[in-house]
Chain A
Amino acid sequence: MAKERIIPIGPYHPLLEEPEFFKFYVEGERIVDADVRVGYNHRGVEKLSESKTYDQATFLVERICGICSTSHPFAFVNAVEDVSAIEVPERALFIRSIIGDLERIHSHLLWVGLAGHFIGYNTVFMWAWKYREPVLDMFEIISGNRNHYGMFKVGGVRRDIKENDIPGLVKAIDEVEKFCTMLLKAVIDDPVIKARTQHVGILKQQDALDLGVVGPVARASGVDIDIRRDHPYAAYDRVDWQVITMKDGDIFSRTAVRLLEIIESTKIIRQCLKQMPQGAIAADVREIGRGEGVGQHEAPRGEVIHYIRANGSNYPERHKIRAPSFMNVPSFKKTVIGEQLADAALITAAVDPCYCCTERMAAVDVETDKVIYSGEELVRLSQQKTERLRGQ
Chain B
Amino acid sequence: MRIDESLTNKFGQQIEVQGKSKRRLFLTVPKAIALEVCRFLKEELGARFSTISGVDTRSAVELLFHLPIDREHLVVTLRVPVAKPDLEMPTATGVYPAANWVEREIREMFGVNFLGHPNLQTLLLPDDWPAGVYPLRKHSYDSEIENTEREN
Contact = CB atoms under 8 A, between A and B. Distances in A.
A232 B68 CA distance: 13
Interface string A277-292: 0000000000000001
Contact of A231 (B56, B75, B97, B123): B75
Contact of B64 (A42, A82, A307): A307
B98 A318 contact: no
Interface stretch (B5-13, B29-37, B46-54, B140-148): B46-54
Nearest to A292: B26
Contact of A294 (B54, B70, B77): B77
B98 A230 contact: no
Nearest to A85: B21
A278 B66 CA distance: 36
B136 interface: yes
Interface string A285-324: 0000000111010000001010101000000011010100
B84 interface: no
A82 B54 CA distance: 19
A211 B102 CA distance: 11
Contact of B49 (A212, A307, A318): A212
A231 B66 CA distance: 14
B75 A296 contact: yes
A368 B26 CA distance: 53
Contacts of B126: 39
Nearest to B137: A47
A42 B122 CA distance: 13
B136 A47 contact: yes
Given A42-B125, A294-B24, A305-B51, A211 B98 contact: yes
A44 B102 CA distance: 16
Interface string B97-125: 11011100000000000000000001111
A320 B53 contact: yes
B49 A305 contact: no
A293, A294, A330 — most chain B CB neighbours (10 Å): A294
Nearest to A46: B136
Given A44-B135, A307-B53, A309-B55, A296 B68 contact: yes
B75 A210 contact: no
Contacts of A239: none
B150 interface: no
Nearest to A232: B73
A333 B95 CA distance: 20
Interface in B40-67: 48-51, 53-56, 64, 66
Nearest to B101: A330
Nearest to A233: B23
Contact of B100 (A39, A42, A232, A330): A330
A12 interface: no
A307 B70 contact: no
A145 B13 CA distance: 54
Nearest to B69: A230
B2 interface: no
Contact of B125 (A39, A212, A225, A294): A39
A305 B50 contact: yes
A327 interface: yes
A232 B22 CA distance: 12
Given A39-B124, A305-B50, A307-B53, A210 B98 contact: yes
Closest 10 CB pairs of A and B: A212-B98, A320-B53, A39-B124, A230-B70, A322-B51, A307-B53, A210-B97, A318-B55, A42-B124, A212-B49
11 contacts: A39-B123, A47-B135, A212-B48, A225-B48, A225-B70, A230-B73, A292-B26, A296-B50, A307-B77, A309-B55, A320-B51
Interface of A: 38-39, 42, 44, 46-47, 82, 85, 210-212, 225, 230-232, 292-294, 296, 303, 305, 307, 309, 317-318, 320, 322, 326-327, 330
Given A212-B97, A309-B55, 17 more contacts: A38-B123, A42-B124, A46-B136, A47-B135, A85-B21, A212-B50, A212-B98, A225-B48, A225-B70, A232-B73, A294-B66, A294-B77, A307-B64, A320-B53, A320-B55, A322-B50, A326-B101
